[in-house]
Chain A
Amino acid sequence: DTGVSQNPRHKITKRGQNVTFRCDPISEHNRLYWYRQTLGQGPEFLTYFQNEAQLEKSRLLSDRFSAERPKGSFSTLEIQRTEQGDSAMYLCASSKEGRLPQHFGDGTRLSIL
């Protein structure tokens, strides 16, 4: 169990640029979640994959956001045309199956200049 890995740890970019984050879940975990956490708040759900299928998306996930999990292993979250309000910590979590705890990565902190 090597844990959930997220890259990069920090991303600083100018407003309007595109960014992509990667999440490598614990192997054999078929469920993968993305959350966003702003300062002083609890994480908010963004999207959920079961294997390679994206089964749920939050209303927070505007059309500038896209997530993929092409082979049911790692996942990417892309934000196009970044805005100031996108500044946050983006957390990835995985679980093996239902009713089991989610394991979180360290997160990617996004800062928009």
Chain B
Amino acid sequence: AQTVTQSQPEMSVQEAETVTLSCTYDTSENNYYLFWYKQPPSRQMILVIRQEAYKQQNATENRFSVNFQKAAKSFSLKISDSQLGDTAMYFCAPPQGGSEKLVFGKGTKLTVNP
């Protein structure tokens, strides 16, 4: 079974600073992709960024970027110029199997302080 490890249960950062959230995963698949989702307090889960495993270039989406190390099975998320609205739970979620169901880690609770 696929496992996902997010080793930082909680993190905090000052507004406008940069923070990196770590994620490692285990998979036997070769051609796959990975997601980071955020879940603000009492709000729905929304997609932050997506990375295809076959692409060597790290994905970037505005202030969000990833550091994808396929051999190490590491998929960290960097948030630049942190904003108060970035306060949320962040989940690393690789899809698994033919159904492509998402396998979530325990998440990292990020707090952005003013």
Chain A interface residues toward B at CB < 8 A: 31, 33, 35, 40-45, 48, 50, 55-56, 91, 93, 95, 98-99, 101-107
* Cβ-defined contact, A105 with B44, below 8 A: yes
Which of A41, A43, A56, A105 is B102 in contact with, Cβ under 8 Å?
A43
A-B contact count (CB 8 A): 54
Known: A41-B106, A42-B91. A33 touches B46 (CB 8 A): no
Chain B interface residues toward A at CB < 8 A: 4, 33, 35, 37, 43-47, 50, 91, 93, 97-107
- B52 CB to nearest A CB, Å: 8
Interface of A is mostly: strand
* Cβ-defined contact, B45 with A43, below 8 A: yes
* Residues of the B chain whose Cβ atoms lie less than 8 Å from the Cβ of A95: 100
* Residues of the B chain whose Cβ atoms lie less than 8 Å from the Cβ of A91: 45
* Residues of the B chain whose Cβ atoms lie less than 8 Å from the Cβ of A93: 45, 102
* Cβ-defined contact, A101 with B50, below 8 A: yes
Q: Report the separation of the CA atoms of residues A91 and B45 in the bound assembly, to the nearest whole angstrom.
A: 9
Known: A48-B99, A101-B35. A106 touches B43 (CB 8 A): yes
* Cβ-defined contact, B97 with A56, below 8 A: yes
* Residues of the B chain whose Cβ atoms lie less than 8 Å from the Cβ of A103: 47
* Residues of the A chain whose Cβ atoms lie less than 8 Å from the Cβ of B105: 42
Q: Report the separation of the CA atoms of residues A45 and B103 in the bound assembly, to the nearest whole angstrom.
A: 7
Q: Which of A42, A43, A50, A93 has the most CB of B within 10 A?
A: A42
